[in-house]
Amino acid sequence: MKLHALAIAAHPDDAELGCGGTLLRIASEGRLTGILDLTHGEMGTRGTAESRAAEAAEAARILNLAVRANAGLPDGGILNLPEQRLKVIQYIRQYQPNLVLCNAPYDRHPDHGNAAILVREACFLSGLRKVETFDGEGNPQEPWRPAHLYNYIQDHWFTPSFVVDITSWHEEKLAAVRAFGTQFYNPALKDQPETYISKPTFLQHIEARARELGHMVGVTFGEGFISDRPLLMNL
Ligand SMILES: [Zn+2]
């Protein structure tokens, strides 16, 4: 299946938080979107790999994703290693996205910055014919290099290279985030240990961030992205 946009995320919920509104916006235009979670989030303090898989499936439904896959890399152990790169390249060649959105270049969780490095190198190497990979049936895959690669903003603040207006999709984005019921504020789970992201102020921060990014470009809610090269403007 060929996708227009593939969001690649170290952990299930990273993509929802960082670019969920943008994925909804692209899908609303009839273009196919997907998420590749690199790990199952099995090292998370709350919930289990199984509960997060069920939550990820519900969030995928809310986001109208055409596909959601999991690379099965070790949570807390994402590194730019040849075997991890080849796994990511297999998915890039399988879905042939025009646009890849991936984790922030540097962040509170070390997996995020490491995933950004891993995905950037995988996107480049995926375009090289002599890097050999095979699909699930053992057939050699064709090279594919995404035309666009941008990082979404996560915990640490970055000045965005551009902002996407997600005003019409902000509520659905929050619904997709709340689908991860074990991870974020949930009064029904008072007996579970509190984490950095399970406090009620975390979701308030997500809304504040979207308002700030929207304000920068004159809309109500936005998501910001970082580009490592100048963007072409047709004025
Ligand atoms: Zn994460």
Distance 44 CA to ligand 1 centre (A): 9
Average pLDDT on 135-157 reads 97
Confidence of residue 187 (pLDDT cuts 50, 70, 90): confident
- Widest CA span in the chain: 55
Distance 234 CA to ligand 1 centre (A): 35
Strands 99-102 and 67-70: unpaired
Average pLDDT on 154-181 reads 96
Distance 111 CA to ligand 1 centre (A): 7
Question: What residues are neighbours of ligand 1 (ion), with CB under 5 Å?
Answer: 10-11, 14, 109
Tokens of 232: 């072409």
Confidence of residue 124 (pLDDT cuts 50, 70, 90): very high
Where b means 16+ CB within 10 Å and e means fewer, 100-136 reads bbbbbbbbebebbbbbbbbbbebbebbeeeebebeee
Query: What SS3 class is residue 179?
Result: coil
Q: For position 181, what pLDDT does the model report?
A: 84
Distance 64 CA to ligand 1 centre (A): 21
Question: CA 108 → CA 38, 79, 222, distances in Å?
Answer: 17, 16, 22
Confidence of residue 57 (pLDDT cuts 50, 70, 90): very high
Distance 186 CA to ligand 1 centre (A): 19
Distance 138 CA to ligand 1 centre (A): 31
Distance 112 CA to ligand 1 centre (A): 6
